[in-house]
Amino acid sequence: MKSAEAVEAALWDDEYSQGRQEHVGLSNQGATCYLNSLLQALFMLPEFRSAVWACEGGGESEAGGSAEMGDEELAAAVALRADSIPRQLQLLFARLQLGVRRAVGTQNVTRSFGWGNEEAFQQHDVLELFTVLLDALSSAVGVAGGGAPSPASLFAFEMSDALSYALPSGETIRRARTVPEKYLSLPLSESTGSLEVAMQRYVEAEMIEGFQADEAGGARVTATKALAFATLPPLLMLNLGRFDVNGNAFFDLSCCPSR
C-alpha cells in the first residue's frame, strides 16, 4: 500500500504544500457556501466517510481511497471519471483528510453534477443537493468498504402519520401510514427557542374539527392527527428553519436564536 506521503505527492504540487493541516477548508466558487457547508458537515461524520470509501472505485484505506494506485495513476485520477459524483467526492475527501492545503476547491465535484461556471454563481437548494448526493453514492456502493452501509441508509428513517377519530356509534377508527424520510425540516421561531421544543412541537397531536367520516355516512367528527418516529436513523439530518420573513416588509429577515 502506498504511504500517505506518496499519496500526497501524487495529489498535490509541492509549491502548494504548507505542511499538514489539522482542518482543511473549501474554497467558495462564487455562491457555493451552501455546498461547502454540506460537504464539510458530511466529511466530519466517520460513518459517512467510510461509506464514501466503500463506493465503487474506492480503496481499502480511509486515508487515501485510491492508495493502491501508482503515483502517475493517482495524479491523473482527478481527470478520470469526471462525471462520477462518487469518484470526485472520494478525491475531495482524500484532500480534506490528508490536510496538505489550507483550502481546496470543489470544481471537480460540481463538474460531476454537470454544472458550469454559471451554476456555481447560482444558489441551489441544499436539501435537494443532499438527496442527489445520497442517491449517487448509494448506487455506487461496492465491496471495497468491507460491508459498510449504504450512505443513504445512514440517514434513512420512517415517520408514522396517524389519523384517529370516534364515530357517532362509539367505534374508534385509526388510519396510519409509514413515510420514508432522509431528513427532518423543523421550523424554529423566537417562541420555539430550542431544538428540543421544536421536535416536541413537530410530533404534537393536531385536532381537526369537522372531519368527514366516510364510515359514518359523511358525518362530521373531531379527528386527531399525529406524527411519530417509527424508526430512528444512525444519523439524523435536521433542516432548521431559523429565518422568519415579515410579509409586510419582504426584505426584513430576522435570525432566530441558535441555542
What is the CATH number for 62?
A: 3.90.70.10
Domain residues for the domain of 87 are 4-153
Q: How far is CA 205 from the centre of its chain?
A: 28
> What DSSP state is assigned to residue 214?
G
* 253 lies in some domain: no
Each residue's pLDDT tens digit in the chain (259 positions)?
Answer: 334 444 445 454 443 445 566 778 888 888 888 888 999 999 999 989 888 888 764 433 333 444 444 445 544 554 456 778 888 888 898 888 887 778 888 888 888 888 888 887 877 888 888 888 888 887 776 434 455 678 888 999 999 999 999 999 989 999 999 989 888 877 766 667 778 888 888 888 999 999 998 888 889 999 999 999 899 899 988 887 755 555 554 444 444 444 4
Domain co-membership, 46 together with 113: yes
The predicted pLDDT at position 191 comes to 67
The predicted pLDDT at position 145 comes to 42
The predicted pLDDT at position 162 comes to 93
Tell how strand 184-187 and strand 206-213 pair up: unpaired
Q: What are the φ and ψ backbone dihedral angles of 7, each rounded to 5 degrees?
A: -65, -45
* 250 lies in some domain: no
The predicted pLDDT at position 182 comes to 85
Domain co-membership, 162 together with 147: no
* 257 lies in some domain: no
What is the CB neighbour count within 10 angstroms for residue 7?
A: 25
- What is the maximum span of the chain, computed from C-alpha positions, in angstroms? 82
Domain co-membership, 136 together with 160: no
Which pTM value belongs to this model?
Answer: 0.69
CA distance 145 to 163: 42
Domain count, the chain: 2
CB-based contact 83:112 (threshold 8 Å):
yes
CA distance 186 to 1: 45
* 194 lies in some domain: yes
* 166 lies in some domain: yes
* 254 lies in some domain: no
* 252 lies in some domain: no
Domain co-membership, 140 together with 12: yes
